[in-house]
Amino acid sequence: MKRALISVSDKTGVVEFARELVSLGWELLSTSGTMKMLKEAGLPVTSVSDVTGFPEICDGRVKTLHPKIHGALLARRDIPDHMRQLEENGIGTIDIVCVNLYPFRETIAKPDVTMEDAIEHIDIGGPSMVRSAAKNWESVTIVVNPEDYATVISELKADGQTSRETRLQLSAKAYTHTAEYDMAISTWMRAQAGLPEKLFLEYDICQPLRYGENPHQEATFYKTANKVPYSLATAEQLNGKELSYNNIQDANAALNIVREFKDKPFAVGLKHMNPCGAGVGETIAEAWTKAYEGDKTSIFGGIVAFNREVDLKTAEMLKPIFLEIVMAPSFAPEALELLCSKKNLRVLKVDMEGEVKNQMACVSVNGGLLVQNQDLDTCALSLDQCVTKAKPTETQMKDLEFTWKMVKHVKSNAIVVGCGGMLLGVGAGQMNRVGSAEIALKQASATLTGPEQPSGLGDTQPQRSEDGLRRAGAAGRTQLVLASDAFFPFDDCVTLAAQYGVKAIVQPGGSIRDEDSIKKCDELGIAMLFTGERHFKH
């Protein structure tokens, strides 16, 4: 009679699996906890202690570490001397091992976990049996995942044994199981011991991709084991083609921006990982109107994300525009139906509940990996941060808050210009800061005045249309604000900003020439805040 050893922490489906084995004539061996469950289910099962002739000792720390277990697993059936040694020592073979390990990850995830509790959830006998069975995969079937029970039973019923291909695959899965387990223990123990010399990363495949950034590059999307909000890995795709590598990069950047805004409805449009339009409003439709009016040209072929449910009114405004992706926490049924009428439009429902905990951000470099905490924190602004004679108005403070949250998500050197809860101009990724400022300010001016760019600005403010003012949500004279992701090395950005009518600026400060910028702001009647917080984004 063939024998199967079953000892599992995850008992999902194990009774049904064991019952099928018994019906096929297999003898069951087990350890205390699993054996109790199998006996209660009315199944005949033999204790491992009866096989070894030795009791479980040390509070169960020692159960299966015995030659009558590991000899039964490791002996090669094709070597006569191995089989002779088993017979001489009264050892019968074990042909199926069904084992999964103590819940170490779940234990250390508890906020009040103690070292003693964690240590007691480090499995010793389990990994040893798994590795022994996996090493001898030519003869032994090792099962660590309940999802594989059906395959094993199906093959046993059909052929009386599992196929060589299945045993090899199950062996690979088993080594992955123990590797992940050891990695979790090692990572946690090294953290307790203060040893940073090693970094272990664990990701599961989410989906293969057609190609990477370019068609000649291979790519795959992997996900973390833990579910987190604002993640594409757990998003529900409701319509459209599969996501591409570039789609995932851009969509992730959009979600990072969305999580900055929770208090009011917010919409952002994004291209090439930089925002091209964004707005807050009393409704999601108003937020989208501001985002779209900020740059109607760049949004073509872009990605849109919302922090509130998309309603029918908003969907009707989205439909005529060529977009790659629309993301939101939910969609009204009629809005979803309308958006899904565009068969290629990717519509994603994304979990936006809960706080994003600090995660690692990894970037590969030749021969290495750069690792840092994500840039999650954005300091709140207050009048105490004002370093100039002029002080921002209440309205300007709201716009400074808005632009400060936006600029951290623009590629450095980054400058953004806004007004009325609306992104009007973006200067991204330029080699000098004044270049970024010029791009952002010219775009803002064009948004407010129409496509004709005024020339010869000198010290005068461009004339803005009433329609532009309404789009910006500003009343009367436009009060533009500007945000910079890092300090001004010179006062040239202040001078340029004044020419375009900027009335308030927020920047980190910290330059050895900060006084030059402060002095220039005082000369021009501009309010300026220093946050003391830089947001480079390379």
DSSP string, 169-232: HHHHHHHHHHHHHHHHHHHHHHHHHT--S------EEEEE-S-SSSTTS--EEEE-SS--SS-G
CA gap 445, 341 in Å, rounded: 36
- 66 catalytic? Reply is no
- 135 catalytic? Reply is yes
Return the minimum-mean-pLDDT range out of 51-65, 344-358, 417-431, 478-492.
Answer: 51-65
* Residue 451 reports pLDDT greater than 90: no
Tell me the pLDDT tens digit for each residue of 45-103. 999 888 888 877 787 777 778 888 999 999 999 899 999 999 999 999 999 999 988 78
Q: What pLDDT score does 468 carry?
A: 44
Q: Distances from the Cα of 169 to the Cαs of 21, 151, 332, 510, in angstroms?
A: 20, 12, 44, 57
> Nearest 5°: CA angle at 54, between 51 and 57?
130
Q: Which tokens is 226 given?
A: 């833990």
Q: What pLDDT score does 466 carry?
A: 46
User: Which of 331 and 112 is assigned the larger pLDDT?
Assistant: 331
Q: What pLDDT score does 475 carry?
A: 35
Q: From the candidates 2, 11, 39, 135, give the one annotated as an active-site residue.
A: 135
Domains 205-349 and 377-530 agree in fold: yes
Q: From the candidates 121, 173, 264, 272, give the one annotated as an active-site residue.
A: 272
Domain ranges of the chain: 3-193, 205-349, 377-530
Q: Which tokens is 524 given?
A: 């021009």
CATH match of 377-530 with 3.40.140.20: yes
Mean pLDDT for 370-392 is 94
Mean pLDDT for 19-36 is 93
Least Cα distance to 532 among 508, 505, 511, 514 occurs for 508
Average pLDDT, the chain: 90
CATH code of domain 205-349: 3.40.140.20
Least Cα distance to 351 among 258, 225, 445, 223 occurs for 258
Mean pLDDT for 449-473 is 46
CATH match of 3-193 with 3.40.630.10: no
* Residue 456 reports pLDDT greater than 60: no
Q: Find residue 502's DSSP bridge partners.
A: 480
